[in-house]
Amino acid sequence: MKRLMACAAFSALMAMHPATHADNHYPERPIRLIVGQSPGSAADGVARLLATEMGKYLGQPLVVENQAGAGGTISAASVAQMKPDGYTLMMGIASQLSLGPHLFKRTAYDPFKDFTYIAPAADVVMVLTASAGSGIHDLDTLVKKAKAAPGRITFASSGMGSASQLSVEMLAQRAGVSLLHVPYKGTAPAVTSVMSNETDLLSNVVGAVQGPVNAGKLVPIVVFSEQRSALLPQVATSSEQGYDLPRIAGWIGLVGPAGLSSEIVARLANAMHKAQQDPKVKAFYDAQGLVLWQGDASGFLSRARTDSEVWGKLIRERGIVAE
């Protein structure tokens, strides 16, 4: 009788904590790592490098799958519906989680209720550039010209609702000037339009414009970060030029479906932190103008919430809707 009672008690205990054994032995098979951007993007590069290194520490491979479309919101919606067992993760970016729900009329997920934030990977630094024929060489000249001719200075972007648009919209709002937005379908045509003097301004990730800047085809105006970029150290920050702007930067980080256990989160975060120290990862970050962001889940979630509040307010006030 006592033996039967002991067995029953053990069974009840296991029923209350069904994931404990599995979590302690996690991972026991390959992990899917979803990327909502196309191959060759910064998020894709970060995901592939970190996946390779993390696999060494986890003892199982992380298999990267690209599911691009609708600013990454399609892939995010898919991951949000997955079982929280740690075998489907996403290398998310700010536009999916902090911005997407504000930009798109309908998203099939809540960025904070439907995901577990695991660990941040990188800050994505933006830089504002101007065409050689614009006569703009710093923020002061830009603001003076814009106030003298409201709506005449144009800025290109990689598309409606893109970070390249939002960063300039934030600058225009804070500086009290009116600029004309010219959206393109992708980064390449936007860069070309500014280099050919068809448009006046372009904000983009540092790695995407470093070549044209160094070749004299684009004039760097300001780097949107707290510190100067190692790729373009000659470009002053907004605060150095006397302008008080909020943090204008994207980010990349690891998330999973809501409900991931603390044991799985800890294992993944630990593997991420170790992977970030690899020289190959550092070299890629440096080449892309990315800044290492090594932090915990709570800090990552806090940053995502703050960005959502700041950029959501801008999106509503400027009436911005993604394509």
The yes-or-no verdict on residue 11 having pLDDT over 60 is no
Read off the pLDDT band of 69 (50, 70, 90).
confident
pLDDT in tens, 76-119: 999 999 999 999 999 999 989 999 999 988 889 999 999 999 99
Q: What is the dihedral of CA 184, 185, 191, 194, to 10 degrees?
A: -20
Read off the pLDDT band of 322 (50, 70, 90).
confident
Nearest to 90 by CA among 254, 318, 250: 254
The yes-or-no verdict on residue 130 having pLDDT over 90 is yes
Q: What's the confidence (pLDDT) of residue 28?
A: 97
Judged by DSSP in three states, 287 sits in helix
Assess whether the previous peptide bond of 27 is cis (omega < 30° from 0): yes
Nearest to 168 by CA among 309, 71, 158, 304: 158
What are the tokens at 84? 């929280």
Q: What's the confidence (pLDDT) of residue 151?
A: 96
Q: What's the confidence (pLDDT) of residue 117?
A: 99
Q: Report which DSSP code applies to 236.
A: P
Read off the pLDDT band of 38 (50, 70, 90).
confident
Q: What are phi and psi of 248, to 5 degrees?
A: -110, 90
- CA–CA separation, 234 and 256 (whole Å): 39
The yes-or-no verdict on residue 22 having pLDDT over 70 is no
User: 226 or 61, which is more confident?
Assistant: 61
What are the tokens at 323? 């394509």
pLDDT in tens, 222-245: 999 989 999 999 999 999 999 988
The fraction of the chain above a pLDDT of 90, given in percent, is 78
The yes-or-no verdict on residue 6 having pLDDT over 60 is no
Lowest mean pLDDT among 20-34, 41-55, 250-264: 20-34
Give the residue-averaged pLDDT of 41-69: 95
Domains belonging to the chain, first-starting first, are 31-123+250-318 (3.40.190.150), 126-241 (3.40.190.10)
- CA–CA separation, 82 and 106 (whole Å): 20
Cβ pair 321, 160 in contact under 8 A: yes
Read off the pLDDT band of 187 (50, 70, 90).
confident
The yes-or-no verdict on residue 9 having pLDDT over 70 is no
The mean of the pLDDT values for the chain is: 91
